[in-house]
A and B are shown apart, each in its own frame.
Chain A
Amino acid sequence: EAGVAQSPRYKIIEKRQSVAFWCNPISGHATLYWYQQILGQGPKLLIQFQNNGVVDDSQLPKDRFSAERLKGVDSTLKIQPAKLEDSAVYLCASSSQGAAIETQYFGPGTRLLVL
């Protein structure tokens, strides 16, 4: 079974530029998550999709971050404009249905450095 795919793996941009990350979840997984992990911290949920609907985006900085999951499969996360504090690893994860005891499987992450 293929895992969660993410691209790019690394990205360096200057502040005020825009950037987009892509995620392809495990086949058949209805629930997709985007996390931000700042160095030395645990992952923080930015947004959770159930199929192509948003379940939780309470911690998404909506003035600069946006995410979509068209057709309930792939997802993109965009930052526009980027700030220095956005430097982090962006992790995508997926689970079968989003139930409380389900395992979330993480992709390899995208490392973003904002200069």
Chain B
Amino acid sequence: QKEVEQNSGPLSVPEGAIASLNCTYSDRGSQSFFWYRQYSGKSPELIMFIYSNGDKEDGRFTAQLNKASQYVSLLIRDSQPSDSATYLCAVRGGSWGKLQFGAGTQVVVTP
């Protein structure tokens, strides 16, 4: 079983719609959760992090965390063509805990 699992996609989303990305993790001791965006041929860039159960909103992005279900999600509202990228879920344990990445979900926003 992979430690961090994501649907590989591609997830096709019409422009202006909501993109919903899901991620599950296996380590119950995980403490912090990150969403990175990676454009083709580029390095990952942080979109959001969350470490408390519930929702966290930042502009058009909302991260949701449910530690009991070991589930974290990312919603992208009003999707734009510039949102087309691979979204990486990353999970980290306590201090010095390494960041474990999922394989990423490819999102394609169609005009």
Query: Which of the residues B31, B32, B101, B104 comes within 8 Å of A44, measured between beta carbons?
Result: B101
Find residues 44-58 in chain A having any chain B CB closer than 8 Å to their own CB. 44-45, 48, 50, 55-56
Give CA–CA (A105, B45) in the complex, Å.
7
Of the candidates B4, B88, B93, B96, the one having the most CB atoms from chain A within 10 angstroms of its own CB is: B96
What is the distance, in angstroms, from A85's C-beta to the closest C-beta of chain B? 17
What is the distance, in angstroms, from A113's C-beta to the closest C-beta of chain B? 14
Instruction: Please determine whether A100 and B93 come into contact, CB atoms closer than 8 angstroms.
Output: yes
Query: Which of the residues B45, B96, B103, B104 comes within 8 Å of A55, measured between beta carbons?
Result: B96
What is the distance, in angstroms, from B2's C-beta to the closest C-beta of chain A? 10
Q: Which residue of B lies closest to A56 (CB)?
A: B98
Is the C-beta of B17 less than 8 angstroms from some C-beta in chain A?
no
The answer to whether residues A100 and B97 also contact, given A43-B44, A106-B45, A108-B43 and a CB cut-off of 8 A, is yes
Interface string of B1-39 (1 = CB under 8 A from A): 000100010000000000000000000000110100000
What is the distance, in angstroms, from B35's C-beta to the closest C-beta of chain A? 12
Instruction: Please determine whether A104 and B99 come into contact, CB atoms closer than 8 angstroms.
Output: yes
Q: Is the interface of B mostly helix, strand, loop or mixed?
A: loop
Instruction: Write out the residue numbers on chain A whose beta carbons fall within 8 Å of the beta carbon of B94.
Output: 100
Give CA–CA (A106, B46) in the complex, Å.
9
Query: Which of the residues A42, A106, A108 comes within 8 Å of B4, measured between beta carbons?
Result: A42
Give CA–CA (A42, B88) in the complex, Å.
7
Q: Which residue of A lies closest to B6 (CB)?
A: A42
Give CA–CA (A44, B104) in the complex, Å.
12
Find residues 2-58 in chain A having any chain B CB closer than 8 Å to their own CB. 33, 40-45, 48, 50, 55-56
B contact set with A: CB distance below 8 Å = 4, 8, 31-32, 34, 42-46, 49, 51, 88, 90, 92-104
A contact set with B: CB distance below 8 Å = 33, 40-45, 48, 50, 55-56, 91, 98-101, 103-109
